[in-house]
Structure 1
Amino acid sequence: MMHKSQLQVEAIHSGTVIDHIPAGQGIKILQLFRLVQTKEKITVGLNLPSQAQGSKDIIKVENTRLSADQANQLALFAPNATVNIIEDFEVVEKLQLELPEQVEDVFSCPNSNCISHNEPVNSKFKVRAVKDQVRFRCNYCEKSFHQDFMTF
């Protein structure tokens, strides 16, 4: 039987901890940042209990630091996530997330009729938050999409 003070996910010596990710978004974040390609030890917890959210995902990556720009891209899928930089098992920095105004060359436009599929142009989306949901508006076809429809 697990005691209340027992950790469900092991602590890391040095690296980045991304916590309070909405349940189900952890895998997308692993893909977005290509964290698996780092070849570093990664601990992923999916659908863990959370008092504030009900359930959450968490990602811990050894020997890897997210930049402020990367943390802001994280806000696209997890605007209320926390990003902690760890050294010697201690939090040495907490990155503040800010939703970027636009993203370029990260996602493909979900609209199959968008010119971005047929022309050699980088995708470009304006980003905005609507009631704790992130929406993307394509620069080319001007259609708006919910974050769940965005693919890499």
Structure 2
Amino acid sequence: MANKLMVEAIRTGTVIDHIPSGQGIKILKQLHLIEGKQKITVGFNLPSKNFSFKDLIKVENRLFSEHEAYQLALFAPSATINVIEDYKVIDKFKMVIPDAIEGIFSCPNSNCISLTEPVKSYFSVKQTNNAIFLKCKYCEKSFNKEIVAGV
């Protein structure tokens, strides 16, 4: 039996592969991918060599910004981003959890000065075992990534 593609190839765009199973939907929401007009192909619980299952997201005609890659790394640190042109992978890189994230998320602490003053939010990122925590520069409180990201 010949190998068969489970998810259609794209001509140009970005493929986010090796997303831990169950995280694909969080990434779609966090990066507001569903709200756009791009063609998106999503695979959930696909077979994987490295994990028992993985999620996969293909977005046509779109490259991800550095800010989006940082957000992606928080939810899928083992993911790989493939840049596609003419149906071929022209660049491939693994996610790296950043040391800090600036101006992406608001602090969940309602008493934090970053919510009332004209400053960009700033979180230092710490990974403990399999959990990722973000510590606000201004109020110095630490939060689980899901709390900060509102997922």
* 1:104 partnered with 2:102: yes
In structure 2, the residue matched to 1:5 is 3
Cα deviation, residue 119, structure 1: 4.2
In structure 1, the residue matched to 2:43 is 45
- 2:76 and 2:95 in contact (8 A); partners too: no
Equivalent position to 2:124, from 116, 123, 126: 126
The runs of 5 or more residues in structure 2 that have no matched partner are none
- 1:71 and 1:95 in contact (8 A); partners too: no
Q: Which amino acid aligns with 1:17?
A: V
* Whole-angstrom CA distance in 1 between matches of 2:21 and 2:63: 22
* Whole-angstrom CA distance in 2 between matches of 1:35 and 1:142: 31
- 1:68 and 1:95 in contact (8 A); partners too: no
Give the share of equivalent positions with the same residue, in percent: 53
RMSD, matched Cα: 2.3
TM-score (norm 2): 0.82
* Whole-angstrom CA distance in 1 between matches of 2:65 and 2:54: 22
* Whole-angstrom CA distance in 2 between matches of 1:138 and 1:4: 52
Paired residue secondary structure (2:123): strand
* Whole-angstrom CA distance in 1 between matches of 2:112 and 2:53: 36
- 1:114 and 1:140 in contact (8 A); partners too: yes
Cα deviation, residue 95, structure 1: 2.4
> Relative to structure 1, is the Cα distance of residues 104 and 69 closer, same or farther in structure 2, using a 3 angstrom cutoff?
closer
Paired residue secondary structure (1:36): coil
* Whole-angstrom CA distance in 2 between matches of 1:70 and 1:139: 21
* Whole-angstrom CA distance in 2 between matches of 1:127 and 1:133: 11
* Whole-angstrom CA distance in 2 between matches of 1:4 and 1:129: 42
Superposition map of 1:54-73 within 5 A: 54-68=52-66, 70-73=68-71
- 2:79 and 2:94 in contact (8 A); partners too: no
In structure 1, the residue matched to 2:85 is 87
Q: Which amino acid aligns with 1:12?
A: I
In structure 1, the residue matched to 2:33 is 35
TM-score (norm 1): 0.82
The runs of 5 or more residues in structure 1 that have no matched partner are none
